[in-house]
Copies of this chain bind each other. A is one copy, B any other.
Amino acid sequence: MYNINLSQVKEIVGAIVAGKRIENVVFVGCGASKSELYPAKYFLSNTSRSLRVSHYTANEFNFDTPDWLGENTVVISASLGGSTPETVKANAVAKAAKATVISVTHAAGSPLTKDADYSIIHGFEENYGAKLEKMGYVLALAVEILQQVEGYEKYDKMMAGFDKIFELAENSARAAKGAAREFAQQYKDAPVVYVMSSGGSAEVAYSTSICLMMEMQWINSGSFHSGEFFHGPFEIVDKDVPFILLMNDGKTRGIDSRALTFLQRFDALTTVVDAKDYGLSSEISSDVATYFNPLLHTAVFRVYAEELSYVRQHPLSKRRYMWKIEY
Contact = CB atoms under 8 A, between A and B. Distances in A.
Contacts of A322: 230, 234-235
Interface stretch (A11-19, A180-188, A219-227, A269-277): A219-227
Contacts of A68: 47-49
A191 B220 CA distance: 10
Contacts of A233: 210, 214-215
Contact of A227 (B60, B214, B254): B60
Nearest to A61: B227
B211 A232 contact: yes
B235 A290 contact: no
B59 A255 contact: yes
A259 B225 CA distance: 25
A64 interface: yes
Contacts of A22: none
Interface string A2-35: 0000000000000000000000000000111110
A222 B225 contact: no
A57 B232 contact: no
Contacts of A198: 59-60, 63
A174 interface: no
A47 B34 contact: no
A135 B318 CA distance: 42
Given A47-B67, A222-B223, A225-B57, A32 B235 contact: no
A210 B230 CA distance: 10
Nearest to A255: B59
A52 interface: yes
Interface in A26-58: 30-34, 45-49, 51-54, 57-58
A218 B231 contact: no
Contacts of A235: 214-216, 218, 319-322
Contacts of A66: 45-47
Contacts of A252: 59-60, 63-64
Contacts of A1: none
Interface string A197-209: 0110000001101
Contacts of A93: none
Contacts of A67: 46-47, 49
Could you say which of A51, A220, A228, A232 has the most chain B C-beta atoms within 10 Å of its C-beta? A232
Contacts of A114: none
A199 B64 CA distance: 8
Contacts of A222: 209-210, 214, 220-223
Given A255-B59, A290-B64, A215 B237 contact: no
Q: Which 7 A-B pairs have the closest CB atoms?
A: A31-B231, A222-B222, A210-B232, A57-B227, A215-B232, A64-B251, A59-B227
11 contacts: A30-B227, A31-B232, A47-B67, A52-B52, A60-B199, A60-B255, A210-B232, A215-B234, A221-B222, A235-B320, A258-B327
